[in-house]
Structure 1
């Protein structure tokens, strides 16, 4: 199976892809839109995307891309995230003036930067890509924050491990396929839905109360602006089900309060694996 990710070899998305789809061929893309484009036009069979981090929150762009394309979430996976300070071999902490990484990774390591005020955090397009660039330039005044796999892949050195602010640091990944090819698990107990409520007072409350009345467990809600319609929002929700039949009932109830409802995926709830 060919699986698209955003990021370089050794990135966390790369690790998630090979864990979710062992022996897959990973297709590396520079941007998330390119990932979805490759899936839409058939260049790849699936995509693995990060959707939420336990410390930094949601990857909002990916919600928009899920809605824009005819795709479905088939599985979710929780990847434990351990950040490392990675350098050109021989570099010391006293040499470092800048640290490069993806903005979400930098946001998960605020305590490290508080301990080292002389070091500037600089955003880059990718965690592993930061290591790749560091090694290509042989920059001993810089460092990167990335996973251990990136250090191994590019021949870099790990100067400090576990920079993340909390040991309970996970990123939730989705395995996404084209709508016509996604396989619904008979054990699915979780649904991701996008909806836009009708423009009348109390419509959002009524929509959520309909789910509560059915007995579903709402685990997440996120709002995103509707392009071209200021102050109008699409709501993205995840909820857990006690039975497969409840999924259809929930969609029907939402439709009574919403101008748009779309199921983005139905899958089995993922839990952290023992490390």
Structure 2
């Protein structure tokens, strides 16, 4: 499927970090479908109102987004890719607004927490939490708020006509978020996968999980992620979500065959090419964060 005019569902609105990730992965000629929740993005895919979903799964500071693991399993759409996005947070306001006149700061609570060192220096500012970074920037533009600044990305500043008062106010400059790319089964095209997302259960016995992990090590698979989630209604039973990477596909195949003996409800959530920023072939226009031309709002479709 060509990247041009793909319909990509994201949680949030135009110029959110989810859209920035979608642009980075697919390029600028996409239709962004704005959704109010992660579940709504999956519903858009399920109802064929979208071709792909871009969904955050973990942040290097905030950690895993646990509810999204449950969505992966319950909807069973295959993971076909991933993208790591550096999270750079900027302070922005209406043109002409001076920082000394600002009384309120608004953004997503995670973004606010990632800028605590900056705001410790300005205790007089009133912090207002919202559900989306880009929505905060849009609200300042729409309501012409002269006493409020937003924390968002440069894409939001350009799209909503705001001035950046202070750049890179995040406390940790190495902050990034990992996003997964999901689609319909008929869209899956396996080229040269070298990473997989797996989900399985093991018996509640001593060493049960260790047997599985040892198989990965014996076959030279790198386990880049492991996340456990309790199974609702079942005491001491967990789903284990594991990401593994490999150089030799035969070793991966051997590992999968072996761990089937020690697991229950085994699922391959997706096999795909791991994101390698150094070898990225994305267009330069995407790297420059150009604003896409076409958007679809899920609110208008309901």
TM-score normalized by the length of structure 1:
0.92
Contact 1:254 1:261 in 2 (8 A): no
**Deviation by residue 1:227-264 (Cα, 9 ceiling, x = unmatched):** 23244321111111121223332222332222221111
The 2-side partners of 1:240 and 1:189 are apart by 6
Instruction: Give secondary structure in 1 for the equivalent of 2:226.
Output: strand
Residue 37 of structure 2 corresponds to 31
CA contact (8 A) 1:79 1:272 kept: no
Indicate the SS of the match to 2:274: coil
Query: Cα offset for 1:112?
Result: 1.6
In structure 2, how many angstroms separate the alpha carbons of the residues matched to 1:195 and 1:111?
Answer: 40
Greater displacement, 142-151 / 48-57: 48-57
Secondary structure at the aligned position of 1:76 is classed as: strand
Q: Name the counterpart of 1:103.
A: 109
Residue 195 of structure 2 corresponds to residue 190 of structure 1: yes
**Number of the residue aligned with 1:7:** 12
**Larger relative contact order, structure 1 or 2 (CA cutoff 8 Å, min sep 6):** 2
Equivalence for 1:131: 137
Tell me which stretches of 4 or more aligned residues in structure 1 moved more than 4 Å. none
- Unmatched 5+ stretches in structure 1: none
Which residue pairs with 2:284 in the alignment? none
Partner in structure 2 of residue 17 of structure 1: 22
Is structure 2 residue 100 aligned with structure 1 residue 91? no
Q: Is residue 79 of structure 2 the alignment partner of residue 79 of structure 1?
A: no
Alignment partner, residue 161 of structure 1 = 167
Mapped contact 1:53–1:172 kept (Cα < 8 A): yes
Q: How far 1:48 moved relative to its partner?
A: 1.0
Matches within 5 A, 1:35-50: 35-50=41-56
Q: Which residue of 1 aligns with 2:68?
A: 62
1:233 is aligned to 2:238: yes
Could you tell which deviates more after superposition, 159-168 or 115-124?
115-124
Structure 2 partner of 1:248:
253
CA separation of 1:15 and 1:201: change in aligned 2, threshold 3 A: same
Deviation track 1:58-111 (CA, whole Å, cap 9, x = no partner) reads 222222111111211111112222111112233332333332222332232222
> What secondary structure does 2:254 align onto?
helix
Aligned equivalent of 2:293: none
CA distance in 1, matches of 2:254, 2:138: 49
Equivalent in 214, 218, 221 of residue 213 of structure 1: 218
Q: Which runs of 5+ in 2 are unaligned?
A: 1-5, 281-286, 288-302
Residues in 2 aligned to 1:201 and 1:228: alpha-carbon distance in whole angstroms: 22
